[in-house]
Amino acid sequence: MSEPNILAVDVGTSEIKVALVSHAGEVRDCARSSIAVLHPQPGWAEQDPNAWWNAISAAARDLWASSNAAPENVSAVVFSCQMFGVVPVDATGKPLMNAMIWLDTRSREQAREITSGYPKVSGYGLPKLVKWLRATNGVPSLAGRDTISKFIWLRDEQPEIWNRTHKLLDVKDYLLMRCTGRGVTTYDLASGGWLFKTRKGDLGWSPEILRMLDLDTERLPEVVASTDIVGELSAGAASDLGLRAGTPVVAGAGDVPSCAVGSGAVQDGAVHIYLGTSSWVATHLDDRAVNPFAATGTLCAAEYGKYILIATQETAGASMEWVRKQILGDALDYDDINARVEACEPGAGGVFFFPWLMGERVPVDDAALRGGFVNLSLDHDRGHLLRAVFEGVAFNNRWALGVVEKLLGESVPEVRITGGGAQSDAWCQIMADVLGKRVERVAKPQFCGVRGAALIALRALGEIDHLDARSDLVEVTDTFEPNAETSELYTRRYASYLDFYKRNRSWFRELNEGRDPQTPDRDAPPKQM
């Protein structure tokens, strides 16, 4: 008889992975399918929820076609998904429009309106700021990236859709409903929407915040733990996934809590960095922590009663993919890119790259920022540009890590690194040199999301007592030590990186907010389903 596996599904921004993970945490087989991000208006970023399911189903078919494992030996289904999207669905679970995903900033005007007031502190009305921090341990992004401002945009700008909305779901929530018929969310996603009380022992939707925004809980889903079994796989969903109906479906978690578990950095204060389409620095804590002026704080973690501190960077791998496609015209694959980066001298010949292609969230919440190359000359070639991108993303991670370390109250000696970008030896070494810390790469870093989701499912099945007790299930395969001479160079260049932001932030704001490119044409409605 075949050994049992977890079917773990990782829904990213540009790709979906469907994997079989053993009960020992080993990723045995995986299939992938790409998904498109739609930009119908400036500042809008949408995906079709049906496209998620179609991509998952296609990847599942490919998985079973290539795997020797038996579908009947799948013991549970679990999801790890991009966070902070909004999918309004009707009473039958049908999406009423395309999802507004985490990159979408169309609700920036609403974000500023709901957080306004006097006296003003860093753009926030002080009385509202205090209310949010007391209840939720955070505050909505002024850039309009959070679910709360997207809810308000939907209510104010699309009342017809709002009136038909039965539940407001995140990406993972929609997929759980597609599998089981239940409209639920998990504590990590609820706590990141800034409508949810997060104090230990007092979790739940906040009546005070809801009253302030003239919202109620009618359209908000039931909140469950990531390690809860939501229900059984329906016959239709089972057919699409090639599984038996009745297979347990575990609530799962968003990509950040899942990757934190899949990185093995599960002890309090152990830090992991994710390098994917976006990037983040994260660590588990036993209690809440926040720096609202750097858009960094804690959400509820996958393990009930724990917290995860997150500092998120908007575009990391997306910056490299943009350069590869738009500047280089797909002329290089990633083996070529890594070879050119390794051949280029540290410092990229003086070229800087600023990875703010969709604005930035941490450590500055500034939607007006824009990225690009600086200090170019005719002497520079592709290798300089590519290395500058790797270095620019690393500098932004150093900036975010500094915020995390201040909240921890100490400097961390090493970080785990995960995500697709961590497959690059060159990028891992640059991260070590820029951070000045040992970087530990886990086995199959591109699969940390499905691995973490599977471990969450094993916790739900009772095979793991506590998620921070089984870090031994995640193997570190490579270690990158910082080079002292290169780290000294990068420390000087990092100071220049910060200086560029300080000198130009007002210019970006005048240039981009003056014409307000993020504000959509209100006469152009979103695609309805």
Residue 342: other Cβ atoms inside 10 A:
14
Tell if the pTM clears 0.95, that is, is over it.
no
Interval 20-38: pLDDT, tens: 999 999 999 999 999 999 9
Strand partners, 268: 284
3-state secondary structure of 284: strand
**pLDDT band with cut points at 50, 70 and 90 for residue 61:** very high
Interval 422-463: pLDDT, tens: 999 999 999 999 999 999 999 999 999 999 999 999 999 999
Sign of the dihedral through C-alpha 454, 456, 459, 461: negative
Count CA atoms within 13 Å of residue 270 on its CB side: 15
Report pLDDT for 472: 84
Of the candidates 168, 146, 45, the one whose C-alpha atom is nearest the C-alpha of residue 104 is: 45
Cα–Cα distance for residue pair 294/361, rounded to 1 Å: 8
**pLDDT band with cut points at 50, 70 and 90 for residue 474:** very high
Is residue 331 pLDDT above 90, yes or no? no
Of the candidates 85, 97, 95, 62, the one whose C-alpha atom is nearest the C-alpha of residue 13 is: 85
Report pLDDT for 349: 98
Write the DSSP symbol of residue 325. Answer: I
Sign of the dihedral through C-alpha 326, 331, 335, 337: negative
Interval 72-109: pLDDT, tens: 999 999 999 999 999 999 999 999 999 999 999 999 99
Q: Which long-range contacts (CB under 8 A, 24 or more apart) does 12-15 make?
A: 12/82, 12/255, 12/276, 12/277, 12/449, 13/37, 13/82, 13/101, 13/102, 13/103, 13/276, 13/277, 13/278, 13/318, 14/277, 14/318, 14/321
Of the candidates 357, 304, 183, 150, the one whose C-alpha atom is nearest the C-alpha of residue 284 is: 304
Report pLDDT for 471: 80
Phi-psi region of 260 (alpha: psi -120 to 50; beta: other; left: phi over 0): alpha
Report pLDDT for 516: 42
Of the candidates 321, 372, 320, 377, the one whose C-alpha atom is nearest the C-alpha of residue 349 is: 377
Asked if 399 contacts 359 with a C-beta cutoff of 8 angstroms, the reply is no
Report pLDDT for 192: 93
Report percent pLDDT > 70 for the chain.
Answer: 97
Higher local confidence (pLDDT), 124 or 528: 124
Count CA atoms within 13 Å of residue 286 on its CB side: 3
3-state secondary structure of 172: helix
Report percent pLDDT > 90 for the chain.
Answer: 88
Interval 499-509: pLDDT, tens: 999 999 999 99
Cα–Cα distance for residue pair 471/45, rounded to 1 Å: 36
**Alpha helices in 41-120, H assignment, sequence order:** 49-66, 108-114
For each of the domains in the chain, give its residue range(s) and CATH number, in order of start. Answer: 5-251 (3.30.420.40), 316-412+422-439+480-513 (3.30.420.40)
Cα–Cα distance for residue pair 404/463, rounded to 1 Å: 32
Cα–Cα distance for residue pair 185/341, rounded to 1 Å: 42
Q: Which of 81-120 are b and which e, b meaning 16 or more Cβ less than 10 Å from the residue's Cβ? A: bbbbbbbbbeeebebbbbbbbbbbbbbbbbbbebbeeeee
The tokens describing 244, both together, are 């038996």
Is residue 325 pLDDT above 70, yes or no? yes
Interval 399-417: pLDDT, tens: 999 999 999 999 999 999 9
3-state secondary structure of 299: strand
What phi and psi values does residue 204 have, to the nearest 5 degrees? 155, 165
Is residue 248 pLDDT above 50, yes or no? yes
The tokens describing 374, both together, are 């600086």
Higher local confidence (pLDDT), 380 or 515: 380
Across all residues in the chain, what is the average pLDDT? Answer: 94
Q: Which of 235-244 are b and which e, b meaning 16 or more Cβ less than 10 Å from the residue's Cβ? A: eebbebbbbe
**pLDDT band with cut points at 50, 70 and 90 for residue 389:** very high
What phi and psi values does residue 354 have, to the nearest 5 degrees? -110, 115
Helix (H) or strand (E) holding 119: none
Strands 87-89 and 167-169 turn out to be antiparallel
Report pLDDT for 319: 94
Report pLDDT for 513: 80
Of the candidates 227, 169, 174, 214, the one whose C-alpha atom is nearest the C-alpha of residue 193 is: 169
**pLDDT band with cut points at 50, 70 and 90 for residue 526:** low
Mean pLDDT of 266-275: 96
Interval 352-378: pLDDT, tens: 999 999 888 788 888 889 999 999 999
Q: How far is CA 392 from the centre of its chain?
A: 19
Count CA atoms within 13 Å of residue 369 on its CB side: 26
Is residue 475 pLDDT above 50, yes or no? yes
What phi and psi values does residue 219 have, to the nearest 5 degrees? -95, 0
Mean pLDDT of 317-333: 90
